[in-house]
């Protein structure tokens, strides 16, 4: 099976994790391409790349992910997350190729008491979130053979993410103040990549009716940003990270341009029921990520 990943194989967290996951397995020929070779803003690059690679499946791990910058840069966010995603899905559809597209729990406003299921009504709070929700619709309209995977709080040993920021700040500051009133599930990019690989293997079985649609795919369990930060600092002891205190604060005490949902929890039962895929507990992801960082020579 040949899979084309849209996303930079060095700088894109999920694109890189997918590439690593495929190296660990035989039977998957995976190609990850970022800009300029595959630029979601340039339709010719999309068409040329799909024609060159001739994939059995496209995974869209490329996105405009600067959540706060998007508030003052809406055109750029929508160009990539809605129009670019739609163009990639359409180009794949024109060649009879299904697409796995990544989305976010930010499509919800966080007002639900329990974990969100796929049929809950979205209500995005910010520009990035709206651009991702409209991207879901664009992908679904352009390519009926789509899987939309909503994930949350993604991190990896590389790229720009909360875990790496906390490790850096813990070395620079005497204490950290982190919001404790937003709940969600940290998702280890290698765990999500492995889930996508397992899903792709099921699709490869060429069942006549595939369960296309929206799925939630996040790390197991739930926590708050403050508790996540506390776990990162504790696990970081293996890296020599000073064991500084993490002070829980409220969202209004840490104002940001984009509003975030207070409840980011996603129910992943559908993914397990349909594909038999469940991501490991988020704490396992933190431990594995720190172990990976420990193994990298300084
Ligand atoms: N990070 C999170 O916490 C989180 C949470 C929920 C959902 N998600 C979703 O999960 C997916 C993967 O996120 P991630 O964290 O892996 O993102 P990431 O690390 O920010 O990587 C995004 C990739 O998209 C590329 N990209 C941006 N504009 C592009 C364009 N016009 N054409 C081609 N590539 C372009 C970037 O390349 P450049 O280096 O060239 O800019 C980068 O390689 C995204 O759909 C994101 O919305 C992320």
Nearest CA to ligand 1 atom 38: 8
pLDDT in tens, 194-240: 999 999 988 866 566 789 999 999 999 999 999 999 999 999 999 99
**Predicted pLDDT at 23:** 77
Please identify which of the residues 64, 106, 116, 128 carries the catalytic annotation: 128
pLDDT in tens, 231-243: 999 999 999 999 9
Low-confidence ranges of the chain (pLDDT < 50): none
Classified as helix, coil or strand, 103 is strand
* Probe residue for ligand 1, chosen from 4, 7, 106, 282 as the CB with the greatest number of ligand atoms within 8 Å: 7
Instruction: Tell me the C-alpha to C-alpha distance, in Å, between residue 142 and each of 25, 89, 96, 209, 253.
Output: 31, 6, 12, 18, 42
Q: How far apart are CA 246 and CA 176, in angstroms?
A: 5
pTM of the model: 0.96
Centre of ligand 1 to C-alpha 8, Å, is 8
pLDDT in tens, 25-35: 767 889 999 99
Letter string b/e over residues 126-137, b meaning 16 or more CB atoms within 10 A of that residue's CB: bbbbbbbbbbbe
Mean pLDDT computed over every residue of the chain: 95
In the residue annotation, 64 being an active-site residue is answered as no
């Amino acid at each position: 099976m040949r899979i084309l990943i849209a996303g930079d194989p060095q700088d894109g967290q999920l694109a890189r994790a997918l590439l690593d996951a495929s190296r660990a397995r035989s039977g998957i020929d995976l190609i990850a391409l970022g800009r300029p070779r595959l630029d979601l803003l340039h339709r010719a690059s999309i068409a040329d790349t799909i024609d060159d690679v001739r994939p059995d499946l496209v995974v869209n791990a490329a996105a405009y992910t600067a959540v706060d910058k998007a508030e003052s840069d809406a055109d750029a966010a929508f160009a990539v997350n809605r129009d670019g995603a739609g163009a990639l899905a359409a180009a794949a559809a024109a060649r009879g190729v299904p697409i796995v597209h990544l989305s976010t729990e930010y499509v919800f406003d966080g007002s639900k008491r329990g974990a969100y299921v796929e049929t809950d009504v979205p209500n995005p709070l910010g520009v990035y979130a709206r651009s991702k929700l409209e991207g879901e619709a664009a992908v679904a309209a352009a390519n009926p053979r789509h899987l939309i995977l909503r994930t949350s709080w993604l991190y990896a040993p590389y790229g720009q993410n909360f875990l790496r920021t906390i490790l850096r700040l813990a070395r620079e500051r005497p204490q950290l103040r982190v919001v404790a009133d937003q709940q969600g599930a940290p998702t280890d990019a290698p765990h999500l990549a492995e889930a996508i690989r397992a899903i792709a293997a099921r699709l490869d079985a060429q069942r006549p009716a595939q369960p296309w649609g929206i799925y939630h795919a996040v790390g197991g369990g739930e926590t708050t940003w403050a508790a996540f930060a506390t776990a990162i600092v504790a696990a970081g002891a293996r890296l020599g990270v000073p064991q500084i205190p993490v002070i829980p604060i409220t969202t209004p005490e840490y104002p940001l341009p984009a509003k975030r949902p207070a409840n980011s929890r996603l129910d992943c039962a559908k993914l397990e029921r349909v594909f038999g895929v469940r991501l490991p507990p988020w704490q396992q992801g933190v431990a594995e990520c720190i172990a990976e960082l420990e193994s990298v020579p300084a």
